[in-house]
Structure 1
Amino acid sequence: MESSAPQSSPGPARRPRHRDRHGRGLRGPLAPPQVPISLTRSELFDDYVRESVERLERRWPQLIDVEFAVQEVPQPGQGEADPEGGVPLGRLQPAKQGRKSRIVVYRRPVEIRAKSREDRAALVHEILIEQVADLLGMSPDAIDPRYDEE
């Protein structure tokens, strides 16, 4: 008598191998999205600038009319030079016809100079204080009394 059941191959059935060997599903993120570890370096840097600008705007309401920006590096040919001959960390573009004043912080030069998160945040704040002082024609100490404190 012939059997109508399909023929099975000898041995256990082979399934394709997956990274999920134990059936637990894919791994989730290491940290929830609101935790700083899950932010990119660029996003963290933007947060440093945003926090510093908010702090300065509370003290100097006229800064609401100033545009703040972050760029990776200074663009060549813009005539920007650090007084010591190095790479600038920030730049002030005064207001022109129909355009607001603009303060730019350069992310990569700042990251190279400051290794820890705390140092980066402090350096960003110092750069913004110096640029705001130039814009308002004041000394950095007048902009933020804690300027230049270690």
Structure 2
Amino acid sequence: MPRSRRVAATSASRRRLSRDRHGRGMRSAVTGPHLPPLRTRIDEFDVTLASTAAYLRGLWPDLEGVAFQVADAPAEAIHDDHVDRWRVYHDERRIVFFRLPIVRFLRTQEGEEKDERLLVESCVFRAVADFLGRDPWELAPGRYRHL
């Protein structure tokens, strides 16, 4: 006995919403049940920024209570001579990092992609140095000294 069109359309739309493939049920995660889920580039950016900020807080007690925030991009980021990658608010004790300018504008001219973790860490060091009124190389004394 043929189905009516109304029932077929309803079951097809329901099938599309649940992503049930050929009646086999939902797909499992790409990484499988025993592996952690994949991290995105945004997650990697946030983890790198947070770990670098935690390292610097351990070295500098002046950073106690300073908020490190991430935004995609500022409203007015492009100026005549530079692009804002972070903004320091001394009176509010917070530093806002702009993810898109950091990731996209800090790549080399030839199209080679540098290690993004290193780029994010250098931006955090420079922003904290700007907040503290110091040189970025002064933030971790002895760390860059060769034995």
Same fold (TM over 0.5): yes
State the TM-score, normalizing by the size of structure 1: 0.65
Unaligned runs of 5+ in 2: 2-7
TM-score (ref. length: structure 2): 0.66
Equivalent in the alignment of 1:124: 120
Q: Per the alignment, do residues 36 and 105 of structure 1 end up closer, same or farther by CA in structure 2, a change over 3 Å counting?
A: farther
Alignment of 1:51-130 (within 5 A): 51-76=51-76, 81=79, 85-95=81-91, 99=92, 101-112=93-104, 113-114=106-107, 119-130=115-126
Q: Number of paired residues?
A: 124
Decide which structure has the larger Cα Rg and report it. Answer: 1
User: Secondary structure at 1:74's aligned position in 2?
Assistant: coil
3-state secondary structure, aligned to 2:84: coil
Matches within 5 A, 1:41-56: 41-56=41-56
**1:38-93: CA deviation from partner (whole Å, max 9, x where unpaired):** x33333221121111111111113212211111111222x8x84xx8131211211
Match of 1:141 in 2: 137
| Contact 1:129 1:144 survives alignment (8 Å) | no
Aligned equivalents of 1:43 and 1:93: distance in 2? 24
CA-based RMSD = 3.3
Q: Sequence identity of aligned pairs in percent?
A: 30
Output the CA distance in 1 between the equivalents of 2:53 and 2:32: 26
